[in-house]
Structure 1
């Protein structure tokens, strides 16, 4: 899901005593391995990360290594731990904190994936016909991939809270099976963001608010003339979790632009009605059951036309020996699968692999 859950942060794991090397999965972590992880990780860890938290992060990494290599433990998963010991986002965000200030590490931001087959019921040829572009005969099936990373610009702006990140997401739609027109990319969406992130720990109705963010967001397809699509937004993102269930609410305000004096005017608004189709907010939710992650994304404009989109996703392990690559299936119905299609209603089913998941 171009999805804001990837920024969410839970509390770091409970302190692990120096003597206890057995985790909640009954996996014994050898002391030399733990000490080696601590030595190699301490220079890149977040400044506010305690020794206990650093140790907890190393135990997570070593557990994952043991689980991926051991035949005996193939059926065990981290998610089988008692609910009060691990929450859905802890593992991911503990490891993020472990590498937060390491300048040699790029941290995943949104999901990173490649969909080998993405089938669209009715390809949108109209923008290319109007612009007399070669992409006038699109195939129903294409490939789609997303690369999303972030870097820490400043840590602990307000004492031990308030982290400033620069994020970038590239989502590409590739007509790789369309050899008739030399297999071009039909649309590539660029999304740089400036993110001010605050962790939190208050509860309401049993849900824990773990993260609140202010975001300045630009999204563009990098085209010019009549194929150009772009908009700028100020966004607020708030994330809640309860056990293995997480949801995030992200409303936004679009920054106004000047009207076009003529079609394709580079100084004018490429898509003045984009909010009518893309909506004014996005709601994401995800549930983790054992090694499966199910997610739902909803967008809506809260108007009588009731336009927006829904996306359903399921990621799952493809091998007990690999924690890096997971299978990924998603279904999209609505407007704005890509920026060039912001005002085109479509249904899309896609199958591929995901490399960095929600948690």
Structure 2
């Protein structure tokens, strides 16, 4: 297998990644040592040819800054380098890999809490603070180890948890205001298209997103998506349209069956654009969601900075709809500062 797929998950890239994080091989490790280590740790489905390809790709990046993608020698950009490092780990039977960003925001503010979302929750909104904490845990594991349709493609299962914690609201016992759960299955593959020495790839998947609540506070949707990814050096760009899978209408508002939020796409949009750039040890990214009919959506800008060891400083600004599922139809501006545990891309 001649390896490399392009995959982008900005903010769309956990607490446990301190010990599940990337284990990039040292530059001084020989290819023979790399092969021995991979053979010892890899799942039984991984062939010797695939192990050799992984180690050859790492060696080629270290020595020449290039890799072979579907038979062509191309320059290895910032995303390709991450994927090669990931491949050294996700072939193991004992390792999970970061998916989207994993971070902790001890300070996460909003210009306006959404009171309508909590009217049926014992008026807890009366005690909610505009400053809270948020964290995200996002992991993935491979469901395939060999190439399926093209060299370097793979199927993954992923899971992302987001939690908004009213840690400063002592008067109401500091509850978790909202949690969102996002399981998904997706296929990623490199494309044999390298305009201007760039690398390109595609991702196709299906995901469910829910806040785990019942009754009138329940929020959820299912969607299928396709994503095109472009990488050139330290620049990564993507576009991800999706289609929401239809659900039956509710017979009554409190019914556990039926569509919890039939108008969610009017606010969350039907496409997301992403762009990111690595300035040495700094990474800057932005994502924008849009609905073509209603013109609703959101924009988010993120910055990571060097901090200590593998830890990074993380600053994020959000404006628009859908910052969480409970707030899908509530527009707000949010600012957060904290720590990121893995790279954006």
Q: How does 1:142-291 map to 2 (within 5 A)?
A: 142-155=132-145, 156-158=147-149, 160-204=151-195, 206=196, 208-291=198-281
What is the distance in 1 between the residues matched to 2:53 and 2:156? Answer: 25
The secondary structure found in structure 1 opposite 2:91 is coil
Q: Which runs of 5 or more residues in structure 1 are unaligned? A: 9-27, 64-77, 79-83
2:290 equivalent to 1:307: no
The secondary structure found in structure 1 opposite 2:85 is helix
2:313 equivalent to 1:327: yes
Q: Which runs of 5 or more residues in structure 2 are unaligned? A: 1-7, 14-25, 66-73
What is the distance in 1 between the residues matched to 2:249 and 2:39? Answer: 53
2:22 equivalent to 1:4: no
What root-mean-square deviation, in Å, do the aligned CA atoms of Structure 1 and Structure 2 show? 2.6
The secondary structure found in structure 1 opposite 2:266 is helix
| Match for residue 328 of structure 2 among 319, 342, 353 | 342
Which piece of structure 1 moves more, 119-128 or 195-204? 195-204
> What do the CA deviations read for 1:258-288 (whole angstroms, capped 9, x no partner)?
1111112211111110011000011111001
Change (3 A) 1:328 1:6: closer
Q: Name the counterpart of 1:354.
A: 340
Contact in 2 for aligned 1:115/1:143 (Cα 8 Å): yes
What is the distance in 2 between the residues matched to 1:227 and 1:214? Answer: 30
Q: How far apart are residue 316 of structure 1 and its match?
A: 0.9
2:24 equivalent to 1:39: no
Query: Normalising to structure 1: TM-score of the pair?
Result: 0.80
What is the distance in 1 between the residues matched to 2:138 and 2:109? Answer: 23
Contact in 2 for aligned 1:239/1:249 (Cα 8 Å): yes
What is the distance in 2 between the residues matched to 1:145 and 1:326? Answer: 14
What is the distance in 1 between the residues matched to 2:59 and 2:177? Answer: 43
> What do the CA deviations read for 1:216-248 (whole angstroms, capped 9, x no partner)?
110000000011000000110111011211011
Change (3 A) 1:282 1:30: closer
Contact in 2 for aligned 1:4/1:237 (Cα 8 Å): no
Q: How far apart are residue 132 of structure 1 and its match?
A: 3.2
Contact in 1 for aligned 2:117/2:326 (Cα 8 Å): yes
The secondary structure found in structure 2 opposite 1:97 is helix
What is the distance in 2 between the residues matched to 1:349 and 1:218? Answer: 26
Q: How far apart are residue 52 of structure 1 and its match?
A: 6.2
Query: Normalising to structure 2: TM-score of the pair?
Result: 0.83
What is the distance in 1 between the residues matched to 2:240 and 2:118? Answer: 32
What is the distance in 1 between the residues matched to 2:266 and 2:221? Answer: 13
Aligned residue pairs, count: 312
Q: Name the counterpart of 2:20.
A: none
Contact in 2 for aligned 1:6/1:109 (Cα 8 Å): no
What is the distance in 2 between the residues matched to 1:59 and 1:185? Answer: 47
Contact in 1 for aligned 2:61/2:76 (Cα 8 Å): no
Q: Name the counterpart of 1:15.
A: none
